[in-house]
Amino acid sequence: MSDHYDIAVVGAGPAGGTAAVTAAKAGLRVVVLDEQPKAGGQVWRAKSASIRSAPKTPETTAGDGLRRTLANSDATLLSDTRVWDIRRTGDTWQLQILRGGQSEQINARALILATGAREYVQPVPGWTTPGVIGLAGATALFKQSLTLPGKRTVISGTGPLVFYVASEIRRLGGTVTAVVTPNTRTDWARALPSMVSQPRLLARGGLWMADLMLARVPILWGHGVSAVEGTDHVTAIHTRNLKTTGTGPTFDADSLCLGHGLIPNIEAAQMLGVAIHHDPALGGWVPDADPDGATQVAGLYLCGDGCGIRGVTAAGLQGTLTGARAARDLGKAAPAPALQSWHRAARFGQAMTRLSIPTPQLAALSTDDTILCRCESLTRADISAEIDTGAASTNAVKSGRRAGMGPCGGKYCQTAIAALIAAQTGKTAADIPPSTPRPPLRPVPLGQAVGDFDYDDLPIPKPAPL
Amino acid sequence: MTQKTTYDIAIIGGGIMGCATALQVTQGGMSAIVLDQGDLGQGASGVNAGTLSLQIKRVKLMPYALKGHYLWEQMGDAVGFAKTGGYTLAFNGREADMLQERQTLKAQAGAPIEFVSNNRLRAAEPNLTQKVEAASFCAEDGYANSSLTGQYYRGRLRDAGIPYREGCKVTAIDRDAGFALHTNSEPIYATRILLAAGAWLKPLAALLGVDLPVNARVNTVSVTERMPHLMGSVIGHATGLLTMKQKANGTVLIGGGWQGLGTPQDRRGTVNADTVKPNLALAQYAVPALATARVTRSWTGFEANVPDFYPLAGALPGVPDAYVLGCVRGGYTIGPYIGQLMGDSILGKEPEMPLFDPGRDFEKDTI
C-alpha cells in the first residue's frame, strides 16, 4: 500500500495534532501518525476504555478537546502506527510505517515532525530496582489506567512535575512518603517572574503545594535521592543534601518516581539533516528550527517539545504556527498567527525547563557501581575507564563499550555519558554532542520490515568483481 | 614557546591502514603522527560488518587476505576475533554455478575452501533454510568486531608513544622542505606524508594537485536485538550480497554491500530502506527464524575504490615523499597487513609482498 498526502505529521500530541488541524483547515490532505491508541501525546494521553468513567482532569479535558477537533477535521489520524524510516526522494517524503503487523509506505510533499520528548533520569545507586519508575512515566500510568506505582511512594525530581505527580498519587488514594527535589526555594523564586504570565498554571501549582502541606508530606528542597535500597523490590530511599553533601533522611517506601526533566526527541530531525545545537534551557541538544517550524531542509518542519522543551501551551501554539507555515509553503492561504503568545508561553515553559538543567551535584549522585547504560549493564566505572583510555566522544564510547547499541539506541544513557565525558576531559556539555542516530527510528521486526516476497523477485545486483 | 616539531611522517587518516602503517614505521625508528578528521577507527574501519571471510576476497588478493587473517587472529579478544568457519550458500542453479566457479578459483589461490553436502550443512547449521542448492565452507572464516577498531588502535598508538589528533581536519598542504599541514587546529610539519583517508582520499590528494580516481560505495549493515542461538558460523551468499553472523551476545549482524545514499563529501551516508529491505529479505530467506528478530540499527560506511578495484598502495604520483594507501577491496581483512607492507616500503625496506602502484593505468588489467 502506498498513500499520497500533502503533509505527513509525525506525532499527535498538542503540537502535531494542532499542526495537522491547521493544515487540514487550509485545504490540504493531511495524515497524522501516532504510536499511541489515541491522539493527545504523553501530556494529554487518553484514558483506556476500562476507566472511561473516571473523573475528568485538566489533562483529559484538554486532550478530549484536541481529539474532538482532530476527529472533526479533514486530517486522517493513523493511531497505533509506528514510523520506522523516513527518507526524501525528489520532492516526496517517504515514510515507512508499521500498522497491524504490516509495513506500509506513506508519501507526502511536506513533513512535520512533532516527536515530543522523553524523560531524563540521573542514574543513582539502585535506580534499576523494580519499583523505581520515571516521574513522567508515572503520569502515563495514572492517565491511561489510574494505576499507582506502589502503596508508599517517594517522589523525586526536578521542576513542577514532582508536585503534580505527588498530588495525583494522593488524589488517586496512594500515600506519598516524601517529595525530594534537587531544586531549592531560590530556584523557584527565580522562575516566578516568568510564571506570572500563566496565572492558571501558577494557581494549579499552588493547589498541589497546598494539598501536600495540608497532608504534612515532607518536602525536601535541595535534596536528591542518593540510593535506592532493596534487591527485588524497593524497601527504602536514602537522600542527600546536594549543597552540603550531608546525609538526608531515609524513607521507608515500596516505590520511587524519579525524573530530572525532559529531553527533546531529535533523532528523526537529525537523520534528515537538520543541524543541532546545545541549549540547556531547552532541554539540551535541540534541532535548528524557526518559531514557525521551518528548518534549513526544504519541506521539513518541526514543532513542539521535540525542538526544545517549552511545555504544552507553547507546543499547541507552535503547532498552529507550523501548520500554517507548511500550508503557505504549499501554496495555500493560511494566516500567520502572531508570535507573541507563543513567546509568552515559551518563556514560561523554558523557566520550568531551566529547573531541570543537570548540575554537577546531581551527577555526583551516581557512583562507580551505578549502572549508566541499562541495555548493556554498563556501570559508571566501565564508561569512565573507556574515557580514560582516550574515548573522547559519545561515538567512541558507544563503539568501544556498546553504550548506545542496545534496544534503546542510546536514548536513555547518552545524556549521562556525555556529561561524564565532559567532566573527565574538562569540556562542557555543549562540546559533547550525542552519538550518531541510526535508523530504524524504532526497532522493527525484520519480517515485518521485509513483508512478503518472492525470492526470484529480489533485486540482486551484479556480484562484486572476482 | 617550544621548538617546532617536524615528524618523519604525518599520516592522514586514523583507520586500520593509517594506524597499522604508523606502528610499522615507528618500530623502524621513524617519528609519526596520526591525524583523523573524526575519531580513530570510526570510518569504514569501524562501521563495516567485520566479516573475515576468504570466500568473499578477490582471487589476486588472496595471499594478502591469508596474511590478514593471521594478524586478526593474533589481535584476538582485543578486537573480538572469532574463527567460526563460514558457509556460502546458493539457492538456485544459477547461483550454484556461480558458487562453483568462484570458490574453485579462490581455493586455487590458496583459500582452504571446500564444497559441502546438504547433510553436513544441516548438521552444522540446523536453522538454515531447507532451500539450499549448493554450499561451500571455509574453516578459516570468521569475524572480528569492527566497533572495537578505534579502541584497539588508540591503545596501540598510546602504547607505542605515537601521538594522534582526533577531530583534526587537514585543510591545506604546503610543500616546502617537507610538508606543512594546515588544519582546523595547530599546523603539523613532517618530512613525509601518507594519505590513508579512505573514501576521503580524492579531496585530500586534490590538496596536492593530484587527481586520484577514487569512488566510494555506500555499504549498509544492520543489526538485530539479542536472539537465542540461530547460527554458529558466518553465513554468506553466492553473489556476496549477504554476510551474516551471530555475535556472542546474541545480536545478528547483516551486511552484504547493499548501497545506501550520500557521498563522503557531505560527510554522512544514509540508509536506503529500498536496499535494506532486500538485504534483510535475503537474511530471512537463509535463516527463516530471523523474521521475529527486531532490527535495532542500520548504518552505512563509505568503501573507497578505484576503477580496477585493486588497492592504492605506494608513492603518490608526482609528489616526492608523499604516499597513498587505501581502496583495498576487503580492506578490513587486509588492512593490518597491507599497513605493515606500506610501512616497510616507507622505511626503505623491500616489502614481503608487492604493493600496488597508485600511478598505474586503472583502465587496463595491470595487476
Residues of B in contact with A461 (CB under 8 A): 241, 259
What is the DSSP annotation of A173-186?
A: T-EEEEEEES--HH
The DSSP code sequence of B275-338 is HHHHHHHHHHHHSGGGGGSEEEEEEEEEEEE-TT---EEEEPTT-TTEEEEE--TTHHHHHHHH
* pLDDT of res. A341: 94
pLDDT of residue A183: 97
Question: Taking the C-alpha atoms of B9, B13, B16 and B19 in order, what is their torsion angle to the nearest 10 degrees?
Answer: 30
- Label residue A45 exposed, middle or buried (CB < 10 Å: 0-12, 13-18, 19+): buried
Contact B241 A445 (CB under 8 A): no
Q: What residues form DSSP beta bridges with A330?
A: none
Residue-level pLDDT at A194: 84
Q: Find chain A residues with C-beta within 8 A of B241's C-beta.
A: 460-461, 463
Mean pLDDT, chain B, whole residue set: 96
Chain B nearest-CA residue for A445: B294
Give the dihedral sign, CA B64/B66/B72/B74. negative
How far CA B71 is from CA of A399, B37, B74, B77, in Å, comes to: 21, 27, 5, 12
Could you tell me how many helices (H) and strands (E) chain B has, helices first?
A: 9, 18
Q: What percent of chain A has pLDDT over 90?
A: 89
Are B242 and B236 in contact by the 8 Å Cβ rule? The answer is: yes
A451 chain-B contacts, CB cut-off 8 A:
277
| Contact criterion met (CB < 8 Å) for B151 and A463 | no
Interface test with A, best of B294, B298, B309, B328 (most A CBs within 10 A): B294
pLDDT tens digit sequence for B193-222: 999 999 999 999 999 999 999 999 999 999
Question: Mean pLDDT, to the nearest integer, of B107-111?
Answer: 97
Q: Does the bond joining A58 to the residue before it have cis omega, within 30 degrees of 0? A: no
Q: Do A440 and B295 touch (CB under 8 A)?
A: yes
* pLDDT tier for residue A196 given thresholds of 50, 70 and 90: confident
Taking the CA of residue B203 and the nearest CA in chain A, the distance in Å comes to: 22
Q: Are A375 and A408 in contact (CB under 8 A)?
A: yes
Query: What pLDDT, on the 0 to 100 scale, is given for residue A66?
Result: 97
Q: What is chain B's alpha carbon radius of gyration, rounded to the nearest angstrom?
A: 21
Identify the pLDDT of residue A143: 87
**pLDDT value, residue B1:** 45
Helix (H) or strand (E) holding A249: strand A247-252
- Residues of A within 8 A of B102 (CB-CB) are 466
Q: Say which of B102, B241, B284 has its CB closest to residue A460.
A: B241
Q: Residue range B63-81: average pLDDT?
A: 98
- Secondary structure, 3-state, B14-83: CCHHHHHHHHHHHHCCCCEEEECCCCCCCCHHHHCCCEECHHHCCHHHHHHHHHHHHHHHHHHHHHCCEC
Cell numbers given for A300: 521539513
Q: What is the pLDDT of residue A54?
A: 81
Q: Model confidence over A379-431: pLDDT tens digits? A: 999 999 999 999 999 999 999 999 999 999 999 999 999 999 999 999 999 99
Q: Give the closest of B151, B277, B296 to A443, CB-based.
A: B296
Is the pLDDT assigned to residue A52 strictly greater than 80? no
Decide if B9 contacts B34 (C-beta within 8 A). no
Over residues B242-249, mean pLDDT: 96
What pLDDT score does A47 carry?
85
User: Which residues partner with B179 through β-bridges?
Assistant: B175, B190
Alpha helices, DSSP H, located in A215-280: 267-271
Residues A362-375, mean pLDDT to the nearest whole number: 96
The pLDDT assigned to A2 comes to 52
**Which of B16, B274, B367 to mutate: most A Cβ within 10 Å?**
B274
> In this predicted model, what pLDDT tens digit does every residue of A234-283 receive, in sequence order?
999 999 999 999 999 999 999 999 999 999 999 999 999 999 999 999 99
Q: Quick one: DSSP state of residue A406?
A: S
Distance separating alpha carbons of residues A145 and B305, to the nearest angstrom:
58
Whether the CB-CB separation of B151 and A403 falls below 8 Å is answered with no
Select the residue from B77, B145, B297, B305 to test the A interface by mutation, using most A Cβ atoms within 10 A.
B297
Identify the residue among A382, A412, A450 best suited for mutation to test binding to B, counting B beta carbons within 10 A and taking the highest: A450
Nearest CA in chain A to B95: A463
User: Inter-chain contact A389–B155, Cβ cutoff 8 Å?
Assistant: yes
Interface test with chain A among B34, B37, B39, by most A beta carbons within 10 Å: B39
Chain B residues in contact with A407 (beta carbon < 8 A): 225, 294, 296
pLDDT, residue B284, reads 98
- pLDDT exceeding 90 applies to what percent of chain B? 96
Instruction: Answer whether residue B268 shows pLDDT above 60.
Output: yes
Mean pLDDT (whole number) for B33-45? 97
Query: pLDDT per residue over A217-239, tens digit each?
Result: 999 999 999 999 999 999 999 99
Q: Which of A87, A399, A449 sits opposite B295 (nearest CB)?
A: A449
Yes or no, beta carbons of B158 and A390 under 8 Å apart: yes
pTM: 0.94
Report the residue from A395, A451, A453 with minimal CB separation from B42: A395
- Could A447 and B284 be called an inter-chain contact, meaning their C-beta atoms sit closer than 8 Å? yes
Q: Check: CB of residue A443 under 8 Å from CB of residue B294.
A: yes
ipTM value: 0.93
Q: For residue range A68-81, list pLDDT tens digits in order.
A: 999 999 999 999 99
> Would you state the pLDDT for residue A461?
87
Residue A266 CA to residue B172 CA, distance in Å, equals 35
How far separated are the first and last CA of chain A, in Å rounded?
39
Contact (CB<8Å) A389/B59? no
List of chain A residues whose C-beta atoms are within 8 Å of the C-beta of residue B147: 398-400, 402, 405
Q: How far apart are CA B84 and CA B243, in angstroms?
A: 13
Residues in chain B within 8 Å Cβ distance of A388:
none
pLDDT above 70 covers a percentage of chain B that reads 99
Tell me: pLDDT of A1 over 60.
Answer: no
Residues of A with CB under 8 A from a CB of B: 85, 87, 94, 96, 271, 386, 389-393, 395-396, 398-400, 402, 405-407, 409, 436, 438-440, 443-447, 449-451, 453, 455, 458-461, 463-466
Name which of B300, B314, B328, B321 is nearest B359 in CA terms: B314
For residue A203, the SS3 value is helix
Contact at 8 Å (CB) between B188 and B181?
yes
B119-142 pLDDT, tens digit per residue, is 999 999 999 999 999 999 999 999
- Share the mean pLDDT of chain A: 95
Strands A132-134 and A255-259, bridge-based pairing: parallel
In this complex, which of A396, A447, A466 lies closest to B59 when CB atoms are compared?
Answer: A466
pLDDT exceeds cutoff 70 at B181: yes
Does pLDDT of B350 surpass 60?
yes
Q: Report the C-alpha gap between B53 and B102 in whole angstroms.
A: 14
C-beta of residue B63 within 8 angstroms of C-beta of residue B244:
no
Scanning every residue of chain B, which has its alpha carbon at the shortest distance from the alpha carbon of A105?
Answer: B273
pLDDT of residue A49: 80
Per-residue confidence (pLDDT) for residue B2, from 0 to 100: 56
